[in-house]
Amino acid sequence: MTPPIVFYDIPSTLPNKAWSPNTWKTRYALNYKGVPYTTVWVEYPDIEPLCRDIGATPTSTKADGRPHYTLPIIHDPSTGLVVSDSTKIAAYLDATYSDTPRLIPVGTMGLQRAFEAAAQSLLAPVTQYGHPAANAKLNPTSEAYIRRTREAMWRKTLEELTPKGAEDVVQWAKVKEGFGKMDEWIGASGEGSAYIMGDAPCYADMWIAGYVVWIKLILPDKWEDMKLWHGGRWATLLQNLEKYETVM
Amino acid sequence: MTPPIVFYDIPSTLPNKAWSPNTWKTRYALNYKGVPYTTVWVEYPDIEPLCRDIGATPTSTKADGRPHYTLPIIHDPSTGLVVSDSTKIAAYLDATYSDTPRLIPVGTMGLQRAFEAAAQSLLAPVTQYGHPAANAKLNPTSEAYIRRTREAMWRKTLEELTPKGAEDVVQWAKVKEGFGKMDEWIGASGEGSAYIMGDAPCYADMWIAGYVVWIKLILPDKWEDMKLWHGGRWATLLQNLEKYETVM
């Protein structure tokens, strides 16, 4: 029997450890397809050494020109391949495990990529809430690493990033407006559609769910508000996908 | 025999009159589906009175709260319906003429909407070139109307809008970068894909082509540069869709 896929994820102090919106996309994908995998937890300072060790492709380039390595990454012993980036992982799983439900229905990769670009831009306002709250849930070694690197990059403390008072009202309304657009897109797919392509979830739904579960886990007070938005769309999305949240 | 669909478009002084990127989307759609139609040309100042007369739905609300009416609009005598907005027209044509090739393949409406949001944002830098150049091609009554309303809104002359010198270099590079993203999305659909969903054009391709043909017609000097971008992707797109450019 081929050993299971190794799924590299970042741990937190939360009960199930999983928290990252980007790695959630891959966890949903693996569980939805029912492909056997095992999670290996990697603290932030260990990501780059690991990636160099296993020959993972960087997902972008840093401002100073050095490669930037990010999780999720999977290593599939059945093919020997290492794949970085949640979209590329989704495409790889569809191609390699073709008898499992598709994440990216045939012909939709270009549109899923366009969806990602649009959704990323809509969700930009949520990061100022998410980064500080997520950092507070990391283990000490990752917490210190993210604080050092991000505070140098943004030239402010993580705590300063979080909108407060009147600014919170403005910024949180922007977050709601962004989710409102995504609610419209899902609604445009048909009356009562649970997912953006209709009856079955696709990669774009897992992309959204990755962010929604992240908000639920790290910003529980904000989630109390958000779960009532858009006719309960986001609470229902998590209920529908809850069976694919198992941490293996 | 039912009379053909009436397609309301905005004329210009160009040989075939057609120029607007938004109405091109609908012209491509009608010709691709082979649904009989006839074009009725409407100058800008006549759009709102026409829309009120035929009971067309406004596509947005102006800053002062009044309804904003835009073309394309179609009136289909076979159903008696009037439909505004190129995306809604595409969906209407798919639903009503279900034995013709689909513009929005089943299940993709939400993703096509997300594509539009992403593409609109990428193409924002091209409008500062396109608005002045397009205005110079309009008939006097529309030219004067657009100049008056847009110059009041932007608080600068149309001529001041066009980037010049060093600013032109910066802004035109942004236009290229935007098309570069769309080139990636189309490329992501498969090696050698002509269209974003693969072998057949869909609404998103006609959306892009509407802007490309607009640039070709009103900015011929810029088109000389652009037609070489991304392996000739945009010149090829127009060649492939040329048979759907007929003005009926």
Please state, as a whole number, how many other Cβ atoms lie within 10 Å of the Cβ of residue A214. 22
Query: How many angstroms separate the Cα of B207 from the Cα of each of A31, B21, B195, B210?
Result: 36, 8, 11, 5
Half-sphere exposure of A81 (CA within 13 A, CB side): 9
Which tens digit of pLDDT belongs to each residue from A234-243? 999 999 999 9
Interface test with A, best of B60, B85, B103, B109 (most A CBs within 10 A): B109
Give CATH 3.40.30.10 domain extents, chain B.
Answer: 5-106
Bridge partners, A84 (sequence order):
A73
The answer, yes or no, to whether residue A1 has pLDDT greater than 80, is no
Tell me if chain A has a CB within 8 Å of the CB of B198.
Answer: yes
Query: How many angstroms separate the Cα of B95 from the Cα of each of A115, B91, B92?
Result: 24, 6, 5
Measured distance CA(B119)–CA(B124) in Å, rounded: 9
Collect all residues of chain A within an 8 Å Cβ-Cβ radius of residue B113: 184-185, 188
Q: How many residue contacts between A and B have a Cβ separation below 8 Å?
A: 88
Q: Residue B245: which H helix or E strand, with range?
A: none
Nearest CA in chain A to B112: A111
B72 neighbors B23 (Cβ within 8 angstroms): yes
How far from the centroid of its chain's Cα atoms is residue B147's Cα? 20
Query: How many angstroms separate the Cα of A132 from the Cα of each of A30, A157, A163?
Result: 28, 9, 11
Tell me which amino acid residue B19 is.
W
Burial of B100 (0-12, 13-18, 19+ CB in 10 A): middle
Q: Residue A26: which H helix or E strand, with range?
A: helix A21-33
Which tens digit of pLDDT belongs to each residue from A94-132? 999 999 999 999 999 999 999 999 999 999 999 999 999
Protein fold of B5-106: Glutaredoxin (3.40.30)
B211 neighbors B161 (Cβ within 8 angstroms): no
Give CATH 1.20.1050.10 domain extents, chain A.
Answer: 110-244
| Rounded to 5°, angle at Cα B17 from B12 and B23 | 90
> What's the average model confidence in pLDDT over A167-188?
97
Minimal Cα–Cα distance from B225 to chain A, Å?
25
Protein fold of A110-244: Glutathione S-transferase Yfyf (Class Pi); Chain A, domain 2 (1.20.1050)
The pair of structure tokens assigned to A247 is 């941490």
Collect all residues of chain B within an 8 Å Cβ-Cβ radius of residue A121: 118, 121
Mean pLDDT, all residues of chain B: 96
Q: Which of B107, B119, B193 sits opposite A114 (nearest CB)?
A: B119
State the ipTM, two decimals.
Answer: 0.93
Q: Residue B77: which H helix or E strand, with range?
A: none
pLDDT at B198: 93
Reported as a pLDDT band with limits 50, 70 and 90, residue A190 is confident
Measured distance CA(A45)–CA(A57) in Å, rounded: 17
